[in-house]
Chain A
C-alpha cells in the first residue's frame, strides 16, 4: 500500500509566536520550528498500517527549507522516503491554495491512503483533510480515533461531539487522526542514523504542475487587514485563602451577577 503522510512544520507552541509586521505572515525565523504534534500520530498510524498490510510510507511537506526538519523527524520514526514541495512562490499561501498545491503533488506522486493530523497547532483550521478529499474526489475519513483496513475497505471511528461515528469508504482515501488514536513511537538511534540515507525528493511548482498564479500571498483568497498583540488582561484581584477564600470567590460571582 502506498501511504502518504502530510506533515507541517509549525512554531513551537511553548514559544512566543508572532506575525511579521511587514506582511502579516507567520514569523518562522524568530522561534524554533518543529513537526506539528498531531502529525506524529499520523506518522505512527501510517507506520502501523504499513506494518500490518505492507507497503511504503512517504512523507510529504510543503514549506521553506527549514521544514526539512519535520521530514527528518518523520523519516527517523520509520517513514521510507520523503517529498518536499519547496518553492519561494508558495510563501504566504492560505488554506485554499495549500490544499490545491498538496492535491497537485498527491495527484502526481500517487497514493492509496493519505494520512494527516486533524489540525495544526498554528492555524488550527482542521479543514485540510476535507479539502484534500474534495479536491481528489476520494472519501473523507477524518477525525479518526481508530482506523481499520480490510482489503480496499476502510472504516474509521470519527470523533463526534457526543461519542463517535463509524464511517466507511473504499481506498484510495484521505484520513485525519486525533490524539487518542495511538502513542507515537520515539525515533531510535538506529532510526535517526538511517533517516539520513533515505531518499528525499525536492519538488518545485513546475515539477508538481502547480499554476503559480494560484498560490502565494499575493494571490491568496484571504488577507490580514491588521493585527496586534492582545493587550494584557487587566490584573485582577488575587486573595490568599485565610479560611474565607470560598466566601470571597462567591462574593465575586455575585457581584459579577453569575449567581
Chain B
C-alpha cells in the first residue's frame, strides 16, 4: 500500500495500535462510570488486530520513511513482546481497577500509547525516531505509575519516575547530539560507515555513546541508574508494575542492542569493559537488595534490576547470537513476570483502598488458595531459572552465547547471582506453603474470567518456551535476526 512514497503496510502494526488508542480515548468520556470497562475490551480487541498485522509481516525485511522506519526480524520479534505484554496487562487490569475503586477508562489508551512508543523504538535505527518512541512510551508510563492518584505511594512513584526520567532524557538527547556531531547523521548504522571511512574511536563519539548508555541505562534500571526503580515499582498499581517490567524494559533493550550491538559494533572493544562492569554491578546489587525486601512488589523490582544485569551480558558479548538470546530472554521474562504480577494484583485486589502486597500477606496461601499459590510458585521458579520453565531456557541460551564467545568470568558471576536469587524467590514459596495463615487472612476475591485467560496464556507460554524451545528458537547456531 503506497501513498506519498510511504509503504503504509509496514506501519500497520504500530499504526493500528495508535488508532485504537485514539478511538479508545474518544470512547472513554462517552461512557458512564460503570461502563468504563468497555474501553478495556475495545483496547484488547484492537491489540489483537495489531497482533494479526504483526504476524502477517513475519519474514518481511524492508524499510520506509527514507529508511527511518524498519520492519525486520528484530522489530517483529520485539513487537510480539510488546503487544503480548499489553494484552496481558489489560486482561489483568479490567477487574483490578474495578475492585480498587479506580475504574477510569483512561488507563487503557495510556497502555496503548505506551505500547505504540515501544513499537516505534524497536522499529528504527534512527536515533531521533528512537528518542521519539522513547518519549511516547515514557510520558504515558509516568501517568500510569501515578494512576492510583488517591494513594500517596502511587503519586510518589509517578513524581520520582517523572523527575528522574526527564533528567535521564536529557542525557539521551545530549548523547544523540554528540553522535550527530561526529558522524553527521542520526542513523545509528552510519557509525559503521564512519569507521569504514577510516574514522577512529573519536572522543566525541565516545562521549555520545557514554551519554546514551546513561540515558537508556536509566530505562532498564541498570545500577547505578536504578534509584527510581524500587519506589516506582512499589508505588505503581500492580498491573502497571508488571507492564513496566515487561514492555518498557524490552523496548529500552531493543534500542540498546540496535545502537550498540549493531551500530557501534566497531567500538565493541572499547565499550566492552564498561558493559561488563555495569552488568556485574546491576545483577549483584539487584539480587542483594532483593533479599531484604518484605514487600513483594519491591522485591520483584530489585529482581527486575538483577534480570536487567543478566540481559546486559548480551551487550558485553555483542554478537548476533547473544542479541537474539537477549530477545528470547526478554520474551521469557515478560511472560513470567506478567504472570507473577497477575497473582499479585489478584491478592492486592482483596482490599479496595489498602495495598495488600506484603510478603506476610502470602503466608498460608497454599492452604487457603492453592491454585493461586501453585501458579505463583511456577512463575517464581521460572524467574529463578529452574527447568522446565521459560526462565531457565532464557538464561541457558543467553549464557551459552556468552560462553561460545569466550566470556567465562561474567557467566560464572551470573550463575552465582542466580543462586542468590533462588533464596528470595523461594522465601515466598516457603511462606505460602509452610507457614500458617495469618490470624486475619486476606479475603482474596474469586478469579475473574479475563484473569483466568491471562493466567492460562502466561502459564502455557512459560512451559511452552521451557519444554519445547526449538519451536520458538532455532538452536542450530542460527539467530532470530542477523546483524545489518
Is B one of A's binding partners? Answer: no
| A contact residues vs B (CB 8 Å cutoff) | none
